[in-house]
Structure 1
Amino acid sequence: MASYLINRVLLERYLPKLALQGLASTCSCPRLEKRGIYTLDPIDKDESTFNKILIANRGEIACRIIDTSKRMGIQTVAVYSVADRQSKHVSKADEAFFIGPAAASESYLNMDKILEAVKVTRAEAVHPGYGFLSENAQFVQKLEEQGVCFVGPSVDSITGMGDKLESKRLAARAGVNTIPGYDGLIKDADHCVQISREIGYPVMIKASAGGGGKGMRIARNDQDARTGFKLSSQEAMSSFGDSRMLVEKFIENPRHIEIQILGDKHGNAIYLNERECSIQRRNQKVIEEAPSVFLDEETRKAMGEQAVRLCKELGYYSAGTVEFLVDENRNFYFLEMNTRLQVEHPITECITGVDLVQQMLRIAKGHKLNIKQEDVKINGWAIENRVYAEDPYKNFGLPSVGRLYTYREPTSLPGVRCDSGIEEGSEISIFYDPMICKLVCYGKTRDEAIERSIAALDQYIIRGVTHNIPLLRDILTEKRFVEGSISTNYLKEVYGDGFEGRKLVDADKYKMLAVSVSLFAKWDTRNRLFLNGPRIRIHEKIRDSWDLVVKMDEENIPAKVSQTNGFYDVRIGDQDFKITKEDINLAEPLILTKINGEEPVAIQLASRNAHGEHQIIFQGTKYDVKIYTKPTAKYIDFIKTKPKIDVSKKVLAPMPGVVKSVSCKVGDKVVEGQELCVVEAMKMQNSMTCGATGIVKIMNIKEGQTVGENDLLIELE
């Protein structure tokens, strides 16, 4: 398909205004803009800037960059693949350029296509966002050869920090604390085992060119080292096109704390305090906060000064992040430096008042930093929840794909910012990262930021894909998190058997059920009053009370509902509740009401059918609630349930993806725990093992094949 360009200026000239209404862009955080939190160095309209920039990225980060660029008066060019042709970032930009097929290697990682887009659109600069080509020195070199500015650091800085071995040497030279490890590349699995033994288990095996948690495994013994080397090198090749690996000592129970830095082209550098990023799964961050509850002022200052020292050693300019591991005694060690904008940058913006994208554009244009170190303060607290399209009940989040048929962000709440690249109708595909949104909540204190995060998650409506809000919501109320007692092992230690959903105490359960039976009463009243379809009244007498049985978690709970004076009077078990009738709206997926006129409650109605079966989302978790009239309930117990199917000898796809390798064939004898195949989705490698010993009877896959969630891959006899 030939490349082509969508130019909004030409569309506005030649098409009716009505046709452009769908292209109107809106800020991803309107309340944020009204409040004007970017106060430390506001945009100077008289300061020189670029006329037009191209954003070599997609999704939420492309939308984020477009927002600041518009406020600075800079025209923007979006690039997009086949899968993204109707994406939000395409409609927000002034122009959009098609760059190829859905696979990132053929579009967003295709330097020639991006360079062609730069040339055709005559963009003066390229902002890479994060991921893709953001830390590719060859790409920066080619831009410079075309006379195009890269909104980021120099080739030397990217090269020096992009290789983990070289970055560690540079950090040591700059006087930054480093982790013990092997100063060289690992040749193969045997070499990995040898080096791991010399360093001493546990060790971290990771990609030399890695980042974002890809290509990383912890090894605690020789078998872990062999398997980790194999899977990490495959993952690294898939993610970065570079399979080189290294090994270093793994620090037990550390915190992952990073320092945001800014440097200009005139030798000035500052740090913008820290972000706590310890809550992770598979070395990818889940919840971040700024500042860290763990650091004292002395440690914060020491870490910041070392980060600035590294910045000056490199001659670094633009935004960057120096990541540290911090042990229980506040000893800190250099982990890596990300020479780009971080995913979690909004929480730093919230507590410092600095627009990091604006600063990157200013620095790229050659301006000096207007901000001095003494200007940087910590104002309040901010928490970022990464809302992903993934199933938190499967290994803390295997990716989910699908179309968002209902999508509403909780941006009407105070102190809430949503950075997203999707909207209602958008599709989450297997080709890219499954992030839906970065939900950022900020307040004067950590407690207020947590409270606002909980309220926002309760009112976040996402239908069409499985998402991780149940896990995020549960973490925010968990004792250790609330106390700030966390480490990178948090999820494993708190949810040792995996996340199983929120366990409701009786008081909360009865509140949820009180609203649920009110929904039933409203639904039953509507059905008795009107035929479905035309509003034809079929009954004059309205039922004013219901005797019900609620079935939940194998428990039968008696319930009574009566409607009087604008309220539903509800009795659940031996507890009484009063629910305002006008708050119960069957057309809305979100029910906001107050229990007894005082305590606010947010409940989402995920689904309901004519048989009294409701799916209710409460406190982040989905519950099956069955509501029957007493006569109906008598007969329900006679209905037989479907028998459970034994899947121990079946290997099912845990998520949609591509089969990367198959290590058995029909007739092979395999043992429990043996790897049979590897499935990759969204650049994540998943080793599929058999749950029992047997002989391979059915083989439904081959390398390179695309599979769907729960597809039968292999079956044993």
Structure 2
Amino acid sequence: MFKKILIANRGEIACRVIKSARKMGIATVAVYSDADRDAVHVEMADEAVHIGPAAASESYLVPEKIIAACKETGAEAVHPGYGFLSERASFCEELEKQGIIFIGPKPRAIIAMGDKIESKKFANEAKVSTVPGSPDVIIDVAHAERIAGEIGYPVMIKASAGGGGKGMRIAWNKAEVRDGFERATSEARNSFGDDRIFIEKFIVDPRHIEIQVLADSFGNCIYLGERECSVQRRNQKVVEEAPSPFLDEATRKAMGEQAVALSKAVDYQSAGTVEFIVDKDRNFYFLEMNTRLQVEHPVTELITGIDLVEQMIRIAAGEKLAIKQNEVKLNGWAVESRLYAEDPYRNFLPSIGRLTRYRPPLEGPVGKAVIRNDTGVTEGSEISMFYDPMVAKLCTWAPTRLEAVDAMADALDNFVVDGIEHNIPFLAALMQHPRWREGRLSTAFIAEEFPDGFQPISPTVDDLDVLAAIGLSAELVRKERLDRLGDRLRPHSGRIHAEWEVRIGDDYVPVIIRSSAAKPPVKLELSLRGGDFVTVRSDWRPGEAVWDGYVNERPVKAQLRPVSNGMRIDWKGMSVIAHPMQKHVAALEKLMPVKIPPDTSKLLLCPMPGLLVSVNVSAGQEVKAGETLAIVEAMKMENVLRAERDLTVSVINAKQGDSLAVDAVIMEFD
């Protein structure tokens, strides 16, 4: 077994590999760029080596720097994680020349499966069912249009070396093929240094289901069940689960056997994933093989009890696979939510900044469930524009699917992140969505259920009552503290008035207090909207981010953040501002005029921090609705800004190459 390994990666996956290596008694070496000097993975490792500037192309993507770090520290092997150099065969070959072991498959398998065009040819030879499409690289736009026409719309335009949803576009007509080809080519070139594109038939309403395989160098290969990865946005997975709520045992077995056949055909050695798309009739088609550890591997670990990173290390060290196919048992259900630094209320645009508060839920058993959080950040960490926007992978396991989903909902309500925008509100809302809870999924799920983007869930009347009770209890605790502080801050009578109203949006919830013990632990008896009196209990204190208590004996966890004269409350995908006030104050407030927000309809504002890749119009130009105005790149993704209506450009305020902040004015219109 190895004595020391180097992790050629960063963030949560580097931390994940270090944990398994530490458990096995193996010393670890981290590498880091300028941007990651104070990163968690650097602190966790036994040693750390600086490898260059923040840009990945000058640090994490430079094989020579990784090899030099191995020689400097005496690392015998390299675990690549995922992304970066994990699927670059030339890197593996150079490691072999230097006598360093690559913890992953051999170069031949990476070449065969890492290229989507070549992998499809191998799949056909191994009698794995495949999607109809072009077997060759697309040369130019005209070639793309011809092939798409021959296959029949809709088609998927894909980067041959792609991954993570980058370099992929769906086209429903010739115009979208032209635009999609250009965007996919550009993203592929920038992300992978390889702009080869191919086209295949797009299966309408498919499920994305993948099979995890393990194979050693002695010809042994097994599959560890499947993962359902159908909840995606812009071809990027958002929520995964294992097993799939859709597969039956016969389909699972057939998919697993085909995944093993393909792995054996390329002499695969390590952990790998064979991805399929599955139609409504459970017909499945090979999509690609990822010759590395997948982001979503924790859900497989949770239902099988098998540490995939440990198995990768043992296989690379020349050990024989100790697990047989008939020993693989799927136990319970696991769900993974990817926490991204992105703004769900602004079409999920990337967000950067420093984590001023980062309080994930505690890991370990919680009732019947188990919570796991794979992360590479801590409070004070910086989310940089140079790397992927993933902050953490929150996982829950439970005996049944709905129990795992409910555990995830509670864990998300208990996950506090401040300093950046993030997608926890969207994930929390998703856990309440009837279609998700019923398991009626497809890769079009988000586009179909949130066609106009995501907005906070609108509270029902019952929800408003719970939110009002939380908001009022927090206000009474605050007032009780002021009473104890007394004249040191300001005079306070200490008297709790009986009649209140809590404004939430345009709703005023009348509340009558019968009895109160406002000093934590708080216990109140309230009547909401003139109904029966209910009890509200909580140990919450001012400054705490999570209100954990009971409303009418219903357990509730909600996040509280103080705002002017109230509290912002985030709960199960709802985000509201609660303003508790005495009844006479509410009567006066209802007479106040409503403030009208400023008009920004004549401005093109930068929707995220990023690099202005291009300005596609000029001053004085007349533009039609839908035409491209500018392109902004952030976190390795290009975002096309289009005209929402016919207009005339009056002033261009930014130029190509500018680094822009959120809401920076790019151009003005007449």
Range into which the TM-score falls when normalised by the shorter chain: over 0.9
Residue 443 of structure 1 is matched in structure 2 by 398
Q: How many residues align?
A: 662
Deviation of the 1:127 alpha carbon: 0.3
Deviation of the 1:659 alpha carbon: 1.4
Residues 553-594 of structure 1, C-alpha deviations (whole Å, 9 max, x = no match): 212222233544662222221234544565231131111111
Deviation of the 1:238 alpha carbon: 1.1
Match runs of 1:455-604 below 5 Å: 455-531=410-486, 542-564=494-516, 567-579=523-535, 583-596=539-552, 598-604=553-559
Residues 34-78 of structure 1, C-alpha deviations (whole Å, 9 max, x = no match): xxxxxxxxxxxxxxx111111000000000000000010110011
Counterparts of 2:350 and 2:183, CA distance in 1: 18
Q: Which of 142, 147, 157 is 1:195 aligned to?
A: 147
Q: Is the 8 A contact 1:648 1:692 kept in 2?
A: no
Residues 253-300 of structure 1, C-alpha deviations (whole Å, 9 max, x = no match): 110000000110111111011000000000010110100111111110
Counterparts of 1:182 and 1:282, CA distance in 2: 22
Decide which moves more: 196-205 or 558-567. 558-567
SS in 2 for 1:545: coil
Q: Which of 605, 609, 624 is 2:560 aligned to?
A: 605
Counterparts of 2:173 and 2:324, CA distance in 1: 48
Counterparts of 2:538 and 2:612, CA distance in 1: 52
Residues 678-702 of structure 1, C-alpha deviations (whole Å, 9 max, x = no match): 1111111111112233332221222
Residues 277-325 of structure 1, C-alpha deviations (whole Å, 9 max, x = no match): 0000000101101001111111101100000001110000000000000
Alpha carbon RMSD of aligned pairs, Å? 1.7
Residue 170 of structure 2 is matched in structure 1 by 218
Percent identity reads 50
Q: Which of 389, 403, 410 is 2:354 aligned to?
A: 403
Q: Which of 272, 288, 292 is 1:340 aligned to?
A: 292
Counterparts of 1:420 and 1:577, CA distance in 2: 43
Q: Is the 8 A contact 1:675 1:689 kept in 2?
A: yes
Counterparts of 1:274 and 1:116, CA distance in 2: 38
Decide which moves more: 253-262 or 442-451. 442-451
Counterparts of 1:391 and 1:686, CA distance in 2: 14
Gaps of 5+ in 1: 1-48
Q: Is the 8 A contact 1:195 1:247 kept in 2?
A: yes
- Indicate yes or no: 2:270 matched with 1:318: yes
Decide which moves more: 521-530 or 580-589. 580-589
Q: Is the 8 A contact 1:649 1:692 kept in 2?
A: no
- Indicate yes or no: 2:260 matched with 1:308: yes
Residue 537 to residue 467, structure 1, CA distance change in 2 (3 Å): closer
Residue 646 of structure 2 is matched in structure 1 by 693
Counterparts of 1:111 and 1:504, CA distance in 2: 52
Q: Is the 8 A contact 1:207 1:244 kept in 2?
A: yes
- Indicate yes or no: 2:382 matched with 1:382: no
Amino acid at match of 2:143: H
Residue 242 of structure 2 is matched in structure 1 by 290
> How high is the TM-score relative to the length of structure 1?
0.90
Amino acid at match of 1:319: A
Match runs of 1:104-503 below 5 Å: 104-395=56-347, 397-412=348-363, 413=366, 414-503=369-458
Amino acid at match of 1:87: A
SS in 1 for 2:417: strand
Counterparts of 1:554 and 1:545, CA distance in 2: 23
Residue 54 of structure 2 is matched in structure 1 by 102
Amino acid at match of 2:464: K
Counterparts of 1:128 and 1:347, CA distance in 2: 20
Residues 435-486 of structure 1, C-alpha deviations (whole Å, 9 max, x = no match): 1111110011112111111111111111111111121122222111111111
SS in 2 for 1:280: strand
Amino acid at match of 1:698: V
Counterparts of 2:655 and 2:140, CA distance in 1: 26
Residue 43 of structure 1 is matched in structure 2 by none
Residue 436 to residue 621, structure 1, CA distance change in 2 (3 Å): farther
Residue 169 to residue 615, structure 1, CA distance change in 2 (3 Å): same
Deviation of the 1:703 alpha carbon: 2.0
Deviation of the 1:183 alpha carbon: 1.3
> How high is the TM-score relative to the length of structure 2?
0.96
Deviation of the 1:544 alpha carbon: 3.2
Q: Which of 576, 597, 621 is 1:668 aligned to?
A: 621
Deviation of the 1:636 alpha carbon: 2.8
Residue 262 to residue 582, structure 1, CA distance change in 2 (3 Å): closer
Residue 609 of structure 2 is matched in structure 1 by 656
Deviation of the 1:545 alpha carbon: 2.9
